Amino acid sequence: MSDYLFSGILIASSFTAGWILYFIVSFLLTQRDRFFSKGIKADLRLIKSPLRFLIPTLCVSVVIPLLRLPKNVSGLVSHFIQILLIAFCGWVAVKVVYIVRDALLSRFDINARDNMRARSMHTQMRLIANIISVVILLLTVSFILMSFSELKHIGVSLLASAGVIGIVIGFAAQKTLGNLIAGIQIAIAQPIRLDDVVIIEDEWGWIEEITLTFVVVRIWDLRRLVVPISYFLEKPFQNWTRTSADLLGTVFIYTDYTVPVKDVRNELTRILQNCPKWDKKVNILQVTNATDKTVELRALMSAADSPTAWDLRCEVREKLLDFLQQRFPDCLPRVRVEMNKGESS
């Protein structure tokens, strides 16, 4: 048997053994409920894709010293397998990061009514996982490049000009680096969180996605506003749910001076008590202004979150107008003209 045929059979056999081992590991991963408590929701199936390539490659790397190949050919094969191992290990490491992230976040329900802590954890964990993934990617690429001895010599010769190159790269990529640093700052300080209600660029919406370089805001009409992440550290914006999700809603009604404020106040109370959108915290009606033609009534009410507050305001405004039209139509805004008897027509 020739050396090349022997080496080929050995590589094929080890690769086949690796696939068999992968199917065994894959079966064990599907039985994860036997190894983890019910409180931990770790989707280990995410790691199956990189393991499909890593395990056979590991098995081939074991038989590399047994190959009967010329030294230069054996060196090339060994180097190629080494690069594959580094790449697949980096892939596995990134998947492990996301598995741990999802397992930790499974304990925090972002869809709950009181989701302040959940949104905080989701924001921090997702940004931290993205940062770790970028670091793993950079390390993987670095280890692959370091496996080439030629690049090591080139790197030594470039050390003298590294300062100049670093300055040039810094100026060229200052926006990108600034966004990366801003992403880290937001993960720590958290001026915004996932599902926060914000007003940005005169648009009202929710924080839908936070990456290391940009933020996606879901506008109320389902448009998406994509903003550089550094925007939230450099420019002012409104965050309606920074400390809590509940909000105060206002409704302004303009009436005549003859309006019975007490009756309107009682009607507001009745409307709120019969409305499931009201959280039973704030119920106020005040006269906040008086002009030469109308009186301004401000109804103040509270709701659990911004969408509910919007619907509550619309419902209260509609029912108060209907109340005035039905009970006190003479109290709606009117223009008075006074004519003296002595004036000619």
Q: What are the structural domains of the chain? A: 3-107 (no CATH), 134-244 (2.30.30.60), 247-331 (3.30.70.100)
pTM exceeds cut of 0.75: no
pLDDT at 270: 94
CB atoms within 10 A of CB 101: 18
Alpha helix stretches (DSSP H) within 173-219: 174-189
pLDDT tens digits for range 264-292 = 999 999 999 999 999 888 899 999 999 88
CA distance 304 to 33: 37
Residue 134 has pLDDT above 90, yes or no: no
Strand order in the sheet with 214-219: 224-228, 214-219, 203-210, 197-200, 238-239
Residue 113: what pLDDT?
A: 64
* Rounded distance between C-alpha atoms, residue 98 and residue 120, angstroms: 17
Lowest mean pLDDT: which of 60-74, 153-167, 173-187, 210-224? 153-167
Q: Is the predicted pLDDT of residue 334 greater than 60, yes or no? A: yes
**Which of left, alpha, beta for 219 (phi over 0: left; psi -120 to 50: alpha)?**
beta
pLDDT at residue 1, as a whole number: 56
Beta strands 238-239; 278-290: pairing state: unpaired
Q: What is the mean pLDDT of residues 241-270?
A: 88
Residue 177 has pLDDT above 70, yes or no: no
pLDDT in tens, 40-79: 566 777 788 888 888 888 888 888 777 777 777 777 888 8
Q: What is the dihedral of CA 6, 11, 12, 13, to 10 degrees?
A: 90
What pLDDT does residue 160 have? 46
Q: What is the helix (H) or strand (E) element at residue 55, kind and residue range? A: helix 48-63
- Whether residue 287 contacts residue 264, with contact meaning beta carbons closer than 8 Å, is answered with no
pLDDT of residue 317: 94
